[in-house]
Structure 1
Amino acid sequence: MSLEPFGARLRRAMDERGPLCVGIDPHASLLADWGLGDDIAGLERFSRTVVEALAERVAVLKPQSAFFERFGSRGIAVLEKSVEEARAAGALVVMDAKRGDIGSTMAAYAETFLRKDAPLFSDALTVSPYLGYGSLKPAVELARESGAGLFVLALTSNPEGGEVQHAVRADGRNVGATMLGHLAAENADERPLGSFGAVVGATLGDLSSYDLDINGPLLAPGIGAQGATAADLAGVFGAAVRNVVPNVSRGVLRHGPDVMALRESAEGFAEEIGAAVAAA
């Protein structure tokens, strides 16, 4: 049987635990800051500590697949364990893999992360639509079947993204707006929240020229180390701010390996974000 749709599960988790997503990003410099080796032992200790500290408290954990993949099969094994333990503790897991391809290859990526019995099954997956939104069809279909979700790159905060996302189509809309339109269509019949979200940077400033009301979640990187604050959210996202899932990675993770310090940092961000959303 499929799970309850991701959007409904995410809405409940955000209402109960607060709208915060914390990344699990074991890059080499952060392992060093924690006093850990850039090796499997360090990776295991880092991931286990983050899950122990946060999986019972935050709504979403977002492991960055690349930082596990670089260790080969042993790194993937650590990732599988982290996903399993985080979900068992009640956190929703968004796999940050940004997959994007066509045909059977896209279908294989979808099966890797969105098939219910897959070792890396996650509640949602980040995907890239820049081979055309239609190339994501295998992932969309399997996500619906499994009760999972997608976060589609739409308006990212990296400066290079603009050359694609801001390109204007023949119909006068730019590519980023087109992706938001596709997602709104996917979510049209879902309540209380659609399962197909967009990645929209919290550092982008006023986005009032875009229709962010896609009836789906908006995964918003940029809070903390990248310079955005909870107070910025209403100005960036406007009326859609209640559906924003702010992502904080380094801002929380820099407090490790102390479990209590990680928890206190995440709770602080969650409280600030919750207050900002309530006041919007």
Structure 2
Amino acid sequence: MSPLEPFGARLRRAMDERGPLCVGIDPHASLLAEWGLNDDVAGLERFSRTVVEAVADRVAVLKPQSAFFERFGSRGVAVLEKSVEEARAAGALVVMDAKRGDIGSTMAAYAESFLRKDAPLFSDALTVSPYLGYDSLRPAVDLARESGAGLFVLALTSNPEGAEVQHAVRPDGRTVGATVLAHLARENAGQEPLGSFGAVVGATLGDLSSYDLDINGPLLAPGIGAQGATPAGLPAVFGPAVRNVVPNVSRGVLRHGPDVAALRDAADRFAAEIRAAVAAV
């Protein structure tokens, strides 16, 4: 099976055409309840299908959180498979938010689950954790490159607890987070128009000018909306790298469901605000 065009190239085109917005698909119990749905497989399926129907034909990226599907067992995973298939068919790129991280054959198996082109859960990119050492991710890096997929590696996350690991200083004087960014810059060297190996960098972290965010790859930025970050504030956080930022909005869009038109309007508003903020830099 021939590989896809590299993820970075496909993402750059999608961001330019549709705007740089990633909408999360996070069917947690409280949100299902807000939609008037039961916390069961039927509610999960209705929720996911509605989000895909509403926005998959207009946003650059959809990001399902696999845990909220896995909690329902095999039937929940079947809903996830269908959601990925339908989202990609509608033109959205799918980033599977699974944050996998392990070593050796186990990491290779995780990679095959999400990054092998004929896998039922094949996604355009996968979130991964490098905190068993960056090179523990090598099976995922290699398979992603082979299949035309990408990775988003946890680097500087928006949760406060992340600082105790990511801001820790190595013997060479560089923080752990900065080391992850440097690894990704090497993976993306020479790739045009954009490398396929991105970092997760929180939009709530304030001024990041002390970090080199120019990794020639995308920066997946959680924190817009419910966590307090705004589209207008993105340039202050990311500086010149803001053009490669993929802001993630979950509750800020999803709280408008189950009305399809309201979901679309919310996604369109966020996309327009993000595009205007990036254009102003």
Q: TM-score, structure 1 length as denominator?
A: 1.00
Q: Secondary structure at the match of 1:205?
A: coil
- Correspondence 1:264 to 2:277: no
Residue deviations 1:202-245 (CA, integer Å, cap 9, x gap): 00000000000000000000000100001110000000000000
User: 1:13 — aligned with what?
Assistant: 14
Q: Secondary structure at the match of 2:23?
A: strand
User: 1:77 — aligned with what?
Assistant: 78
User: 1:240 — aligned with what?
Assistant: 241
User: 1:111 — aligned with what?
Assistant: 112
Residue deviations 1:176-212 (CA, integer Å, cap 9, x gap): 0000000000000210000000000000000000000
User: 1:153 — aligned with what?
Assistant: 154
Q: Secondary structure at the match of 1:247?
A: strand
Q: Secondary structure at the match of 1:154?
A: strand
- Correspondence 1:121 to 2:126: no
Residue deviations 1:233-266 (CA, integer Å, cap 9, x gap): 0000000000000000000000000000000000
User: 1:277 — aligned with what?
Assistant: 278
User: 2:175 — aligned with what?
Assistant: 174
In the aligned structure 1, how far is the partner of 2:269 from the partner of 2:179?
Answer: 35
In the aligned structure 2, how far is the partner of 1:224 from the partner of 1:195?
Answer: 26
Letter paired with 1:141 = D
User: 1:253 — aligned with what?
Assistant: 254
User: 2:194 — aligned with what?
Assistant: 193
Residue deviations 1:128-173 (CA, integer Å, cap 9, x gap): 0000000000000000000000000000010000000001001000
User: 1:133 — aligned with what?
Assistant: 134
User: 2:37 — aligned with what?
Assistant: 36
Letter paired with 1:95 = M
In the aligned structure 2, how far is the partner of 1:5 from the partner of 1:189?
Answer: 13
In the aligned structure 2, how far is the partner of 1:220 from the partner of 1:49?
Answer: 24
In the aligned structure 1, how far is the partner of 2:269 from the partner of 2:228?
Answer: 16
Q: Secondary structure at the match of 1:202?
A: coil
In the aligned structure 2, how far is the partner of 1:78 from the partner of 1:193?
Answer: 31
- Correspondence 1:215 to 2:216: yes
User: 1:2 — aligned with what?
Assistant: 3
In the aligned structure 1, how far is the partner of 2:145 from the partner of 2:191?
Answer: 11
Residue deviations 1:80-128 (CA, integer Å, cap 9, x gap): 0000000000000000000000000000000000000000000000000
- For structure 1, the 5+ residue unaligned runs are none
In the aligned structure 1, how far is the partner of 2:238 from the partner of 2:10?
Answer: 22
Letter paired with 1:137 = R
- For structure 2, the 5+ residue unaligned runs are none
- CA RMSD after TM alignment: 0.3
User: 2:95 — aligned with what?
Assistant: 94
In the aligned structure 2, how far is the partner of 1:113 from the partner of 1:120?
Answer: 5
Q: Secondary structure at the match of 1:150?
A: strand
Structure 1 moving runs of 4+ over 4 Å: none
Letter paired with 2:143 = L
Q: Secondary structure at the match of 2:235?
A: helix
Letter paired with 1:83 = V
Give the CA deviation at 1:10: 0.1
Q: Secondary structure at the match of 2:118?
A: coil
- Correspondence 1:226 to 2:227: yes
